[in-house]
Amino acid sequence: MKQQWFVVVLLLVAAAAATEKQKSDKKHNKISEIEKKLDALLELEAELENEIIDAAKDEEEGDAEEEEAQDMQREDPKIYQIDVQEDPCAGVPCPAGRSCVVTMSGKGACQCVTACEEETDPRRRVCSNHNETWMTDCDLHRQRCLCEDGLAGCQDDKYKHLHIDYYGQCQQLPECEPEDLADFPRRMREWLFSVMRDMADRHILSAHYEKLEREAEDDETQKWSNAVVWKWCDLDGPPKDKVVSRHELFPLRAPLLTLEHCIAPFLDSCDPNDDHKITLKEWGVCLKLDEEDVADMDDLCEDIRDQEAKPVKKI
């Protein structure tokens, strides 16, 4: 009996020892797993530290090279300028019908476009000042360019001054009666001032032109002259050569031609010497302004340009 109890005790002790061993093994395994994860984290941390160190070294080397280059350029500003590849056509505006190309000398120059995209949509057609329909405005402007430069493809010398009269296919427009033409300058002055006042109310004029509009509101004698000056200066596009060409009249002429049948003969009368350029004085005389107003307009428009060229001070 005692032997049986002894065996039972031994079995219990063995079972307890086995259980403790299992617990110990599990604990050991968990510790081993944790240690492995810690080792992996330490390795990852070391890799990150190395990458940070390498990146810092690269940045320091880059800063040192940049500083060295700046020092060399201070000593000789011409260094590295040859390697800078600037677009020769950057800042070279070309008129319609021309595009900028790089010449053999490496400079940008405006030359006639080589071809225009084929267009079949009749809405893209334009009517010229010779009452001829062209497929697109590109075709018309390219033809003018070819004739201006005396190049092959020019169909007639008269196209040197070719321009768009209005968009769409040419149509038979009503003739301008003499009495309508005589009254047209008055209607044009009123229309110009009305447009100027509307733009001032919507604050889409420059501060200088808004000032002119306010002066015109306060002083009836400046009502027409200020509006006339504003529109002429607006039409005189870059390079602001103090004349408005027939081509620069397009934004005024084209939208009105089918509505105001006297606009074409009126604008023709503003160029009495037929040099295809309208000065501010010619513009004022054409709009029937007083001689005193016409004499002062040149300075007024130039003052506006000078003021607009000055940088605006920030408060």
pTM of the shown model? 0.56
CA quadruple 95, 99, 100, 104: dihedral positive or negative?
negative
Residue 21: what are its φ and ψ, rounded to 5°? -65, -40
pLDDT at residue 13 greater than cutoff 80: no
Cβ contact 134:125 at 8 Å? yes
Percent helix, strand, coil in the chain, to 5, is: 60, 5, 35
**pLDDT (tens digit per residue) in 53-103:** 666 666 666 666 666 666 665 555 554 444 456 888 988 899 999 999 999
Quote the tokens at residue 190.
């009123």
**pLDDT (tens digit per residue) in 163-219:** 888 888 999 888 999 999 999 999 999 999 999 999 999 999 888 889 889 998 988
Beta bridge partners of 73: none
Instruction: Encode 8-36: b = buried (16+ Cβ within 10 Å), e = exposed.
Output: eeeeeeeeeeeeeeeeeeeeeeeeeeeee
Please report which helix (H) or strand (E) contains residue 167, including its range.
Answer: strand 164-167
Residue ranges per domain, the chain? 98-167, 178-309
Cβ contact 167:259 at 8 Å? no
Domain 98-167 in this protein, CATH class:
alpha beta
The predicted structure's pLDDT at residue 62:
61
> What is the distance in angstroms between the CA of the first residue and the CA of the last residue of the chain?
111
Cβ contact 264:253 at 8 Å? yes
Query: Between 66 and 17, whose confidence is greater?
Result: 66
pLDDT at residue 303 greater than cutoff 60: no
Residue 141: what are its φ and ψ, rounded to 5°? -65, -35
- Dist CA 238 CA 98 (whole Å): 15
pLDDT at residue 7 greater than cutoff 60: no
- Dist CA 188 CA 233 (whole Å): 16
Cβ contact 231:252 at 8 Å? yes
Domains 98-167 and 178-309 share a fold: no
The CATH code that applies to domain 178-309 is 1.10.238.10
**pLDDT category, 50, cuts 50, 70, 90?**
low
